Amino acid sequence: MEKMEKNKKKFNLGIIGAGPAGLSASIYASRYNISHIIIGQLLGGQISETHSLDNYPGIEDISGFEFSQKLGRHAKKYGVQIISQKVRKIKKEEAFFRIILENKEEIITKFILLATGTKRRKLNVKGEEKFLGKGVSYCATCDGFFYKEKNVGVIGGGNSAVVSALYLADICNKVCIIYRGEKLRSEPFWIEKIQKNPKIEIIFENNVKEFLGKEKLEKIILEKPYQGEREINLEGVFVEIGSYPEISYASDLGIISDEEGYIKIQKNGETNVSRVFSAGDITNGSNKFRQVVTAVAEGAIATEGIFEQMEKQK
């Protein structure tokens, strides 16, 4: 057993998540000389799949992908190893944590930083699974080009739906935003752009009931309360109805979350579990304002908190 443990990678800190929070935490950890590793499936996280980032102070109008690459390069510059794997489980064993990866590799660390962001919410309506990749998508930037000059829909009314619709309007013939509310919940800056775009139509107060087609998506059925159903012909539909935290991989740790499932953190990023910190979209921090600027800030704060605790333990 001891011999097996000797072969395992050991670090002072294991950062789970390679998005803005995890990468920012790594930059600070390197500068504090904390030996650490990042385990994250998607380099750059959610923003890497976003058309444009236009509200990060000091960087004007950059694509989400380019921003992610820059952030990744910055972290790697200090020598951190990034493993592109899914974390299956984290187990707490007296003085350390055992991080078990999808490929069964195990990594041993003294501290943990959970920065795995959120997962896209699904509509959970008939046909959604069947047409996944055949007309239904959760990422306009990734899949929008497959619908060049076609008629597409975007489901949702928040910032991500509105930004996706603007991106798709540059590529597609027509974009229809379908939202169950009576007015968009996006920043006024984006709403103005939507209103000025002749390719974009908005259908309010309608729910999607079903996706229909033979091999590929051909149409969707909408339902308006008290007014019945109607069909719209669309070849592509992008579901942008928000996100939720998913931390089942850390379920053995006994972490306390809020009523919506976001990890409760203290001012220094610490959770209720000793030596487990958290940062970014997955937490209830930053007044629940989930943006790149808050994720990178939380990553930095948590690393500082970890450093302070490491110093005390010396």
Ligand X SMILES: Cc1cc2nc3c(=O)[nH]c(=O)nc-3n(C[C@H](O)[C@H](O)[C@H](O)COP(=O)(O)OP(=O)(O)OC[C@H]3O[C@@H](n4cnc5c(N)ncnc54)[C@H](O)[C@@H]3O)c2cc1C
Q: Say if CB 16 and CB 39 are below 8 A apart.
A: yes
Alpha-helical regions (H) of the chain: 2-6, 20-31, 64-77, 140-143, 159-171, 188-196, 292-313
Give backbone dihedrals phi and psi of 251, rounded to 5 degrees, phi first. Answer: -65, -25
Please pick, from the candidates 292, 297, 300, 301, the single residue that binds ligand X as defined by CB under 6 A. 292
Which residues from 171-210 bind ligand X, rule CB under 6 A?
none
Please pick, from the candidates 72, 117, 144, 245, the single residue that binds ligand X as defined by CB under 6 A. 117
Binding track over 222-261 against ligand X, x by CB under 6 A? ---------------------------x------------
CA distance 193 to 189: 7
> By CB under 6 A, is residue 53 in contact with ligand X?
yes
- The DSSP call for residue 116 is -
CA distances from 308 to 80, 94, 295, 304, 313 (A): 21, 20, 20, 6, 9
Question: For residues 207 and 243, which CB has a smaller minimum distance to ligand X in the complex?
Answer: 243
Question: For residues 213 and 297, which CB has a smaller minimum distance to ligand X in the complex?
Answer: 297
> By CB under 6 A, is residue 19 in contact with ligand X?
yes
Give backbone dihedrals phi and psi of 52, rounded to 5 degrees, phi first. Answer: -145, 150
Please pick, from the candidates 40, 127, 144, 245, the single residue that binds ligand X as defined by CB under 6 A. 40
Nearest distance from residue 297's CB to ligand X, in Å? Answer: 11
> By CB under 6 A, is residue 36 in contact with ligand X?
no
> By CB under 6 A, is residue 80 in contact with ligand X?
no
Question: For residues 26 and 116, which CB has a smaller minimum distance to ligand X in the complex?
Answer: 116
Q: How many helices (H) and strands (E) does the chain have?
A: 7, 17
Tell me the residue length of the chain: 314
> By CB under 6 A, is residue 144 in contact with ligand X?
no
Which residues bind to ligand X, rule: CB under 6 A?
Answer: 16-22, 39-42, 45-47, 50, 53, 55, 86-87, 115-118, 160, 163, 249, 280-282, 290-293, 295
